[in-house]
Amino acid sequence: MTSLDLVMERIEKARLAVSAHHIVQLIAVSKYSTADEVAALYAQGQRAFGENKVQDMESKMEQLADLPLSWHFMGNLQSNKINKLIDLNPALIHSVSSLELAQAIDQRLAAKGKKLSALLQINSAYEETKGGVTPEEAVDVFTTITASCPNLNLKGVMTIGAHVEDDAVIQKSFETTRAIFEQLPDASICSMGMSGDFELAIRCGSNMVRLGSVLFK
Ligand SMILES: *Cc1c(COP(=O)(O)O)cnc(C)c1O
């Protein structure tokens, strides 16, 4: 069995525990992997990949331009990299971490006559080292971005689970994010769960997991 098969089995088990109708999309995070390793995973059937640096995403996209891959961006986005990211035309930006960043991206999109899909990042465990809006302000910020950023198609929310050992604390960060997601009438994507916590994330309602180390070994 390949590592992709094993991961798919684990996702399948976790999602069926929620409901037979609960579909979970897998994004393979290739930030610590080479283009050859991405191509190997593609050969096993994986199509969606993620990176957290604009430069690395550009380089992988160039090296793998012949393959029909979709690319997701999920890193801290500096304003001087916004234009470059837009030009790469990612399938989804997971890491819109503030109203200001959303408006900056929207302005550049307007200037280029383009649109992009994105998620609002929630700092669900109030961690200083992480970006994102607080759970308290999330619904307001989401609504304001939707109303004021016509070129940014906000499709849902993303969070990184609490960086602790205690599963109960991690679970709470996922439940907090899912509760916000449920208050957003037009949201369809709840992106949460990484290699160490994706089954818990799925049980808490995630429908998009972002897995790196468990896939690329
Ligand atoms: C690196 C990264 C992942 C994947 O992490 P793993 O623990 O290797 O699965 C997921 N999401 C984000 C935002 C990341 O930066």
Residue 217 clears pLDDT 90, i.e. is over it: no
**Amino acid found at 130:** K
- Ligand 1 centre to CA of 54 (Å) is 15
Q: Please state the atom number of ligand 1 nearest to the C-alpha of residue 196.
A: 7
Residue 16 belongs to a domain: yes
Mean pLDDT value of segment 32-48: 97
pLDDT for 106 equals: 98
Residue 48 within a domain: yes
Mean pLDDT of 172-193: 97
Please state the atom number of ligand 1 nearest to the C-alpha of residue 210: 10
52 in ligand 1 pocket by Cβ < 6 Å? yes
CB distance 29 to ligand 1 below 6 Å? yes
Q: What is the pLDDT of residue 151?
A: 98
* Structure token digits, residue 211: 């897995």
Structure tokens at 146: 């939707």
- Total count of domains within the chain: 1
CATH code, domain carrying 195: 3.20.20.10
| Residue 64 domain-assigned (yes or no) | yes
Q: N- to C-terminal Cα distance for the chain?
A: 13
Is residue 217 a part of any domain in this protein?
no
Residue 216 lies in a domain: no
Distance 25 CA to ligand 1 centre (A): 15
Residue 198: inside a domain, yes or no? yes
Span from the CA of 206 to the centroid of ligand 1 (angstroms) = 15
* Residue 207 contacts residue 26 (beta carbons within 8 Å): no
Q: How far is the CA of 113 from the centre of ligand 1 (A)?
A: 31
Pocket test for ligand 1, best of 11, 30, 31, 130 (most atoms within 8 A of CB): 31
What is the domain extent for residue 84? 3-211
pLDDT at 19 over 90: yes
Whether the pTM exceeds 0.75: the reply is yes
pLDDT digits (tens, 9 = 90+) for 104-151: 999 999 999 999 999 999 999 999 999 999 999 999 999 999 999 999
Of the pLDDT bands very low, low, confident and very high (cuts 50, 70, 90), residue 1 is: confident
Residue 164 within a domain: yes
Q: Bridge partners of 48?
A: 70
pLDDT tens by residue, 41-92? 999 999 999 999 999 999 999 999 999 999 999 999 999 999 999 999 999 9
Please indicate, yes or no, if residue 172 is contained in any of the structural domains: yes
